[in-house]
Chains A and B, each alone.
Chain A
Amino acid sequence: MRHVLRLTAAGAALALTATACGGGGGGGGSEGGGEQTGTALKGVKIEVAAKWTGPEQQNFEKVLDAFEKKTGATVTYASTGENTDAFLGPRLEGGNPPDVAILPQPGLMQQYAAKDQLKPLNAEVTSAIDANYTPYWKELGSVDGKPYGLLVKSAFKSIIWYRTDAFDEAGVQPPATFDDMATKTAPTLADAGITPFTLAAASADSWTLTDWFENVYLSQAGPEKYDQLAEHEIPWTDPSVTQAMETLVKIWGKPENFDGGKAGALKGKFDSSVTDVFAREKAAMVYGGDFAAANIGTTEAKVGEGAKTFPFPKAGDTTPAVLGGDVAVALKDNKGAMELMKFLATPEAGTIWAGLGGYLSPNKNLKAEAYPDAQTKQFAQQIQASGDAARYDMSDLTPAGFGATPGEGLWEGLRSLVQNPSDIKAVQDRLEADAKNAFKD
């Protein structure tokens, strides 16, 4: 009964949107026709839910403010807390979801889509996505060919942070290739008495290992194979995986590369792996996404001065660009929700957001100049340079039991590679068995 009612309401909303389309002329760009006056959505109330709190929430609310000013709608923000599903699940069940939600993983989007809890994006939003995103990101936001989601905020994971004074002391430069890093940078640092890396390979932090793997694999095997592996269309026993692991072992297989040796690495936590480099000066380099800047902020090192980054070095032909990020979806099919989605897809929203800091966008039309600091500009340029080869974090694309669980699947498989680098085959067999299990359903 309630279902029927909702459908009718949706139908009415669709009709409304259609008339609006006819009048306003869907542009998809930043202009938006007669909406400059800010009355197009007067009186419309929109609720947006995302996990952000604190400064992240404030920045996002500024973007929402701009939307309000532009359209006259009233937007309220609700924080979901860390577990988005725990917040949205009951509200979806109760038939009272927020209009728009921002999900931390595409997996959650697929889960909701499978239960018919998401509303497909309308033509206007889709064309805005087409204009601003490469086809890969559109595909990522789609389930069974229907567009549902829009990657609004990304985390960039193809970065290695280094301590500049350690590099100066050893007289080394950021490496251009993975081989250089393994055979020149790391040994020279070791010769200078500086431990090259800290590695966060504790069970609960082994996602860092998956990021190492993804960068190497994307670089060596290329984006097509990357997609196939993410979908488990090729097995984890594939030779391309062997090659990537052999490459990783060039660094992972040498305990002297890590602070605390193998035992130290296997207990390393992400937070302390960053502070051990920049506050306690235990090592020279650490893997961490752009978000590691927050951890560096707790030390005396300054991002861009004492703490710099270099792109994750190429291990093959492709310059790796691995991104994580948050996907916006519409949970109600009404004019407000769709207009907001459209707005979020534009460089206009991105520019406001970028100017506030702590934000990185996969939007290809967002100019690097929009970012306030040199460091973020560098990330943005790196992402744009990789163009169509940029990929979403593979471990977040696989079922959570395989790609996102401490002590299981990919996390623990790669951790066992650190533990026993000589037995790549065993690791691959184990991963394949786990993947079969996880992809079964």
Chain B
Amino acid sequence: MTSRDDEAASPPSAGGDATPEVTAGAVVAGPAAEVAPPGDGDPRAGSLQPPSWMAMGFLLPALLILGALVVYPIIYTVYRSFFDATGSGFVGLENYASMATDDDTLISVRNTAIWVVVGPSLVTAAGLLFAVLTERIGWSTAFKLIVFMPMAISFLASGVIFRLVYEQDPEKGVANAAIVAVHDTFSSASAYPGANPRKTDDTPVVQQGDAGPVQTKQAVPVGQQVMVPLVGIQDDELPPGAAAAKAAPAAPANGISGAVWLDFTQGGGGERGQPDASTEKGMPGMTVEAVKDGQVAAATTAGMDGTFTFQNLSAGSYTIRLPAENFAPRYAGADWLGQTLITPAIIVSYIWVWAGFAMVLIAAGLAAISREALEAARVDGATEWQVFRRVTMPLLAPVLVVVFVTLVINVLKIFDLVFIIGGGDPRASVLALQMWTESFGGGNNQGMGSAIAIVLFVLVLPAMISNIRRFRRENA
């Protein structure tokens, strides 16, 4: 069967072989006359070919090994997927049915889809870009070496590296460190991130929302004083030069005075709501606004001891407000491993690892393109972009397809990066990981795991078949 197939599939090579055969046959004479014309396809044509039983004999060990290591496991996995966790109860298609209803599995199906759509195309694109660009620079070998280097690192180690890169704390994770550095260059941080009034009823001020503006609960009539006790930051976070807290100065007849200070005595104690000069400090530089009917009537800044005074206010009552800019929390960077970014973040690490592989293959393809075609296009007046788009790309297409399909198969079974960087987070899970989790990673349900494995197998099949078809066509 196999030998017949091979011959049928590759008539030209058979034809090529036929010539020496004929010569050999002619020397021996006799049977040579019976040699069929090339491509005839009769398996018994060349009597010099070994008999098929011998071919089978030689193939047998390989077939046995393949059968034991590939065919049998596949069949057993299919069989096992019809049984429950213990392996003794037949459940029919229940495992497959519960795949369709189990949230975690559905998420992993979705993530696998994202991976297949995004991963291979981005890696191929990156590889193409690097390959085309490095063709034109002098130190391309060094560049290629660097881009290819991640391939030399085990995926587990790459995962650990990116786990660190994506660390939330900008002091640890380089991704967030970079983002925060850029962000802070363009917008300066607020003076008192995290400061807030106590959340008890006896404070005169209240904060709106998280890190929102702080304002007096009641409007303050002109001529009165207002106390703004805040907590939630430590002494050493106050700006240098902050002086001991003081009670609000006497209010002018046409104004409002007040004090904003850190109302927390280290080690406890101190009177709440009163500035204890010996232990508490003002909050200098705090922007304070007097608001009437939603309009800011006046604005001022607190002094070193935290006191402030509004002058020349028209009669009436004002809400004293500390705008939110005072309290804006420090920018913490992106939530890389949070719900939305976790899969894209892992895909980026995948690109980092595989771009070099794609680049090397595509560069090899590029080198094989005939220079004449490119030069002819250039002579005809094509721009570099047109040359790339109309000549290079079509000639390179077979290589791109090989790289792409290889990556698709690779992405379908992606495991290590997701396992390490995702750290078991089900929102990052992909089918291959889910299969492992269900069967060995604690789920202990190898029936379910087998079902997932079969689905994965079916998904890989089209890519495999297209690869095999193309190999055949190329050999043809």
Contacts and interface: CB of A to CB of B under 8 A. Distances in A.
Interface of A: 168-172, 187-188, 190-194, 202-204, 260, 263-264, 266-267, 269, 399-401, 404-408, 412, 440-441
Interface of B: 84-86, 104, 168-169, 194, 198-199, 231-235, 237, 264-269, 332, 335, 337-338, 422-426, 429, 437, 441-445
A264 B332 CA distance: 10
13 contacts: A169-B234, A194-B234, A203-B424, A203-B426, A204-B424, A260-B332, A263-B335, A263-B338, A267-B168, A401-B443, A401-B445, A405-B443, A407-B425
A264 B169 CA distance: 8
A177 B199 CA distance: 21
Nearest to A171: B268
B103 to A, nearest CB: 9
Contact of A267 (B237, B337, B441): B337
Contact of B423 (A204, A263, A404): A204
Contacts of A170: 267-268
A260 B169 contact: yes
A193 B265 CA distance: 11
A193 B443 contact: no
B333 to A, nearest CB: 10
A171 B267 contact: yes
A319 B332 CA distance: 39
The 8 closest A-B CB pairs, nearest first, are: A171-B268, A405-B442, A406-B424, A193-B234, A191-B231, A203-B424, A407-B426, A204-B424
B233 A193 contact: yes
A203 B168 contact: no
A202 B421 CA distance: 11
Contacts of B425: 202-203, 407
Contacts of A191: 198, 231-232, 264
B268 A404 contact: no
Given A191-B232, A267-B168, A412-B426, 19 more contacts: A170-B268, A192-B266, A193-B232, A193-B233, A193-B234, A202-B423, A202-B424, A203-B426, A204-B424, A263-B332, A267-B338, A401-B442, A405-B441, A405-B442, A406-B442, A407-B425, A407-B437, A408-B443, A441-B85
Contacts of B84: 441
A194 B442 CA distance: 38
Contacts of B445: 401
A169 B266 contact: yes
Given A441-B85, A441-B86, A263 B168 contact: yes
Nearest to B272: A191
Nearest to A416: B426
A57 B293 CA distance: 74
Contacts of B168: 260, 263-264, 267
A187 B199 contact: yes
Contacts of B199: 187
Contacts of B422: 203
A401 B425 CA distance: 15
Nearest to A409: B442
A264 B333 CA distance: 12
B475 to A, nearest CB: 45
Given A172-B268, A400-B444, A407 B429 contact: yes
A405 B264 CA distance: 44
A404 B231 contact: no
Given A193-B264, A203-B423, A408 B237 contact: no
Given A171-B267, A192-B264, A408 B104 contact: yes
Nearest to A170: B268
Contacts of A269: 423
A192 B424 CA distance: 36
A194 B235 CA distance: 11
A401 B234 contact: no
A192 B444 contact: no
B148 to A, nearest CB: 31
A52 B407 CA distance: 42
Given A260-B168, A267-B337, A407 B444 contact: no
Contacts of A171: 265-269
Nearest to B84: A441
Nearest to B195: A193
A134 to B, nearest CB: 30
Contacts of B423: 202-204, 269, 406
Given A267-B168, A405-B442, A406-B442, A169 B267 contact: yes
A406 B337 CA distance: 16
Which of the listed residues A194, A263, A404, A407 has the most CB atoms from chain B within 10 Å of its own CB?
A407
A193 B444 contact: no
B268 A401 contact: no
B104 A192 contact: no
Contacts of A169: 234, 266-267
Which of the listed residues B198, B337, B424, B426 has the most CB atoms from chain A within 10 Å of its own CB?
B424
B104 A401 contact: no
Contacts of B237: 193
A188 B266 CA distance: 11
A260 B445 CA distance: 36
Given A193-B194, A203-B426, A408 B231 contact: no
Contacts of B85: 440-441
A130 B423 CA distance: 43
B443 A266 contact: no
Contacts of A440: 85
A428 to B, nearest CB: 16
A205 to B, nearest CB: 8
Contacts of A203: 422-426
A311 B232 CA distance: 27
Given A191-B231, A202-B423, A407 B268 contact: no
A104 to B, nearest CB: 14
B282 to A, nearest CB: 16
B267 A407 contact: no
Nearest to A263: B335
A407 B104 contact: yes
Contacts of A408: 104, 426, 437, 442-443
Contacts of B332: 260, 263
Contact of B424 (A187, A193, A407): A407
A154 B168 CA distance: 34
A407 B426 CA distance: 5
Nearest to A190: B232
Which of the listed residues A192, A269, A399, A405 has the most CB atoms from chain B within 10 Å of its own CB?
A192
A253 B444 CA distance: 33
B350 to A, nearest CB: 20
A440 B444 CA distance: 13
Contacts of A202: 423-425
A120 to B, nearest CB: 24
A399 B232 contact: no
A355 to B, nearest CB: 36
Nearest to B89: A441
Contacts of B232: 190-191, 193
B231 A192 contact: yes
Contacts of B86: 441
B338 A266 contact: yes
Contacts of A190: 231-232
A203 B425 CA distance: 5
A192 B232 CA distance: 5
A75 to B, nearest CB: 33
A281 to B, nearest CB: 11
B441 A168 contact: no
A106 B365 CA distance: 59
Contacts of A263: 168, 332, 335, 338
A193 B198 CA distance: 12
A322 B335 CA distance: 34
Contacts of B444: 399-401
A263 B425 CA distance: 13
A43 to B, nearest CB: 42
A164 B427 CA distance: 37
